Chain A
Amino acid sequence: MQLAVWTYEGPPHVGAMRVATAMEKLHYVLHAPQGDTYADLLFTMIERRAKRPPVTYTTFEARDLGKDTAQIFQDAAREAVTRFNPQAIIVGASCTAELIQDDPAGLAEAMGLPLPVIPLELPSYQRKENWGAAETFYQIVRHLGDKSLTRAPREGRKARANILGPCALGFRHRDDLVEIRKILSQLDIEINLVAPLGATPEDIARIGDADFNIVLYPEIADEAARWLERTFDQPAVRTIPIGVGATRSFIADVAELAGADPTPALGDTSSRMPWWSRSVDSTYLTSKRVFIFGDSTHAVAAARIAREELGFEVCGLGCYSREFAREVRAEAARCGIEALITDDHLAVEDAITAAAPELVLGTQMERHIAKRLGIPCAVISAPVHVQDFPARHSPQMGFEGANVIFDTWVHPLVMGLEEHLLTMFREDFEFSDEAGASHHAAHSPRKVAPATDPVSQAPVTDIPAPAFAAEPGSLWTAEAERELKKIPFFVRGKARRNTENFAAAEGRRQIDLDTLYDAKAHYAR
């Protein structure tokens, strides 16, 4: 048993729901007890869909167990087909139904329904949401893809591509797709199919018509793309166009497969990020320590942007999906650090505390960890909450995505000019440490002055203090402590930690002014 307060991923059948909800004219008959319909509100509330997910739950109860749950499943399947008239259905079990062993696949097959029935085996006690989505999409493609298709020769027609991976409840999938379509149109490439988002089962049948595939989100589409590679001899582009450099590589890779001229796409002038990053106000971003955590695809892309396009120092990198840990480990090695592969948010919190970053890039969970630790944060990956399904266009991919990323990541930081002012005028009350940076207001609570009467205030035992906060009874002399307070609060934690490490390494028993400045000299960049 694993003790969990929070999980980065839902169970695998939620992944299957994401694929079913993304598609049109496909229905999911899910053998599940009352209550599993909670997952509907992820789609209707977080993604704000105005339609119910196309899922029929069998809703068996305790009194049904051991007698007619199989019948309940068949009735539900028959009703769903009659009512919704889908082109195909997928059938499967949620975690509880997996235990009662009704075999939805066999039951559905025995019914002889007049449409394709795609059985799903999603082991709920071993696998998770992304795996469920990948497996579901793979099974749909494998069952529905028309293997008798032969592509017309390339001469005299445009190159054709499938875009694979965009899904329901995907972080910025809607807008990423807009950017990818724009690039393909600049390269004069025809889109054969986007899937699963917006595709019908009949569309999937002609998936073999494309010359190659573009895998946008490997967590969802890689499994299917590998099958297509084998079955239809379709090569795949696996470059993820998140960041300016990655977008350029993506354009080059796609153009090469399509035999197209990449120049028009590369010459796109909507890319403002390189200039923003070079402008002098961004100088202060140099070597800002950043901690990155999310799904593998977004974490790796973020690390590359952080290092090569914003001049940050990546002090932590990790992902919650074991299936894609290899890419994260490789990127971490390039950053000179060790990757953190875990789905335990407490381990992530410990790692963030230990790394003492100046910026955290992560999921909804890291947003809360960073808030607790008082560190600026931006969201780069699912799972995300409702505010990260915005009304405005905000892709992560392509050149516009890079613009969005620059703004999103830099806003929570103290901007260069503001940082300068804070340092210069820190004795002025408007710029005092306790006032904080204006951009922080929404993220970190104002520091509460210590109560004059310690008895009147109950100790907050629930919330563990960050390891780098001031500890009473430390080695610090009063004078050194006062000097430390003059250092701006957003670097003070690091200064304290460095000084203490330095003192420990030097074997000094007291931290006085000299130790403080010796340490500063020691750690000077």
Chain B
Amino acid sequence: MTAATLLDGCAAAQARPAADAPRPVLRERGQREVFCGLTGIIWLHRKMQDAFFLVVGSRTCAHLLQSAAGVMIFAEPRFATAIMEERDLAGMVDAQDELDRVVNRLLERRPDIKTLFLVGSCPSEVIKLDLAKAAQRLGAVHMPRVRILNYSGSGIETTFTQGEDACLAALVPVMPALPADAPAELLIVGSLPDIVEDQFLRLFADLGITRVGCLPARNARDLPRVGPNTRYLLAQPFLGETAMALEGRGATRIEALFPFGVEGTSDWLRAAASAFGIDPALTEQVIAPGRERARIGLSKLRPQLAGRRITFLPDSQLEVPLARFLQDEMGMVLVEVGTPYLHRAHLARELESLGAQVRLSEGQHVERQLDRVRADRPDITVCGLGLANPLEGEGLTTKWAIELVFSPIHGFDQAADLAELFARPLRRRDMLEI
């Protein structure tokens, strides 16, 4: 993904009809306290168990990955960094040769690797190391044993979860083709914890939707098919590039809320069912038990959250749907909802439920945003780990945002867990007497 396609993506998204009257969005530029897209590797490598992620970058990239991966780094992980050194910067030919050497050595050592992602970083993008060409060249050597793909997770182009978007978008061109005359298939897009994915697959089976694919699949080599009869359902709000790539192959998106909480999950399932012509009565019957369980779970947590004021700092693009859930189902009061990037088309329905008084912000100038947090003094602030303890130090309760990406939070049976993630810091603040 180049800078140019990223900008085209923005333009395309904005060109689509959004809500009737586009609501004002505070757009800011300045220091951003966010992760780069490389961080997506941390959960993507757990999902695609036959894939390996090789970052081509600097010592900083390697240091970031080990800082973000914590203890996971040590169990023979399926990611690594090819650290560029002085001599790699001297000339381009040399860098490509070096890359071949590193990849060959890696594949020799790890015969279990079936898909290798060459992941671009800021340094490799700035010196314009052509990883697409390298992937092609190395792919030709190692096919059919190993498929070699590339995408960029650099900070100059991607923010945190956009790394997953770039990775999945790189998979779309190699998905097998679904013939134009084939029956319609459903595609769930966005990596979900296996347990959540299984719950959704069971629900779709109960609805009678049997041809269901997942992107990413648990094995990167078992890619689902895509074609003009593919109807895809986004499980995550940060998949703009992937959605465009899928539409490029003829697939059409099913418009729905994101599956957080009772209403989000119901709407998501109903949208898919209706797209596949399922009898609404059957749909209600299938989702009723899950709805009821989630409703009971949330009813215990609602008193703890209702009326509490919350601010989201930009992190993952999950902010808008999570804010909708916390407002509509838990009765929280939204103060500011910040997101690194606002995809107006994909979030159109989510945005409708956000009241006019909610401050919506895109991008970040972290100092000014923190000034607003200090002035607003919300009951809870959702933010990254670089800011959480300093804000606690100022007497503000926080919820660190990364956990929302690593924990199972989608679907009926995780709705209460999701609410608990926000309730726990508040309860803890009240419990501690020192």
Query: What is A's interface to B at a CB cutoff of 8 Å?
Result: 1-7, 9-11, 13-14, 33-42, 44-45, 48-52, 56-63, 65, 76, 79, 83, 94-96, 99-100, 123-126, 128, 365, 368, 372, 385, 461-463
Contact = CB atoms under 8 A, between A and B. Distances in A.
A96 B36 CA distance: 13
Contact of B112 (A128, A385, A461): A461
A45 B389 contact: yes
Query: Chain B: interface residue count, which band?
Result: 35 or more
Contacts of B156: 33-34, 60-62, 65, 96
30 contacts: A1-B56, A1-B99, A2-B82, A3-B80, A3-B102, A4-B80, A6-B62, A10-B59, A11-B58, A11-B60, A14-B60, A14-B63, A34-B36, A35-B122, A36-B155, A38-B67, A44-B387, A44-B388, A51-B390, A57-B32, A62-B6, A62-B157, A63-B7, A79-B367, A83-B367, A96-B122, A99-B123, A99-B127, A385-B71, A463-B75
Q: Which of B2, B64, B127, B389 has the most CB of A within 10 A?
A: B389
Contacts of B105: 3
Contact of A40 (B33, B86, B392): B33
B277 interface: no
B393 A5 contact: no
Contact of A100 (B79, B106, B126, B155): B126
Interface in B75-110: 75-77, 79-86, 88-89, 95, 98-99, 101-102, 105-106
A50 to B, nearest CB: 3
Interface in B162-183: none
B36 A33 contact: yes
Q: Which of A36, A76, A100, A385 has the most CB of B within 10 A?
A: A36
A125 B95 CA distance: 14
A197 B26 CA distance: 39
B103 to A, nearest CB: 9
Interface in B50-69: 56, 58-60, 62-64, 66-68
Interface string B148-166: 0000001111010000000
B83 A124 contact: no
Contact of B98 (A1, A38, A59, A63): A1
B32 A59 contact: yes
Contact of A62 (B3, B63, B386, B390): B3
A224 to B, nearest CB: 24
Contact of A52 (B67, B84, B154, B390): B390
Contact of A125 (B36, B74, B77, B89): B89
A62 B37 CA distance: 13
B32 A34 contact: yes
A11 B123 CA distance: 13
Given A3-B82, A462-B76, A128 B59 contact: yes
Interface of B, secondary structure class, is helix
B13 to A, nearest CB: 16
A123 B59 CA distance: 11
B238 interface: no
Given A11-B60, A40-B386, A49-B389, A1 B82 contact: yes
Nearest to B36: A35
B250 to A, nearest CB: 29
B60 to A, nearest CB: 4
B38 interface: yes
Q: Which of A35, A44, A63, A368 has the most CB of B within 10 A?
A: A35
Nearest to A58: B31
A365 to B, nearest CB: 8
Interface in B12-60: 30-39, 56, 58-60
Nearest to B65: A5
B122 to A, nearest CB: 4
Contacts of A79: 30, 367
Interface in B356-398: 367, 384-390, 392-393
B126 A7 contact: no
A54 to B, nearest CB: 11
Nearest to B74: A368
A96 B59 CA distance: 11
A375 to B, nearest CB: 15
B121 to A, nearest CB: 8
B212 to A, nearest CB: 27
B96 to A, nearest CB: 10
A2 B105 CA distance: 11
A34 B155 contact: yes
Contacts of A42: 67
Given A49-B390, A59-B30, A38 B64 contact: yes
Contacts of A39: 63, 67
B104 to A, nearest CB: 11
Contact of A6 (B35, B64, B73, B386): B73
B155 A35 contact: yes
Nearest to A45: B385
B125 interface: yes
A123 B87 CA distance: 13
Nearest to B2: A62
A33 B37 CA distance: 12
B386 A52 contact: yes
A38 to B, nearest CB: 5
B59 A11 contact: yes
B119 to A, nearest CB: 13
A63 B56 CA distance: 21
B127 to A, nearest CB: 6
A40 B400 CA distance: 14
Q: Which of B3, B60, B74, B86 has the most CB of A within 10 A?
A: B60
Nearest to B7: A63
Nearest to A345: B74
Interface string B311-332: 0000000000000000000000
A426 B112 CA distance: 41
A37 B155 CA distance: 10
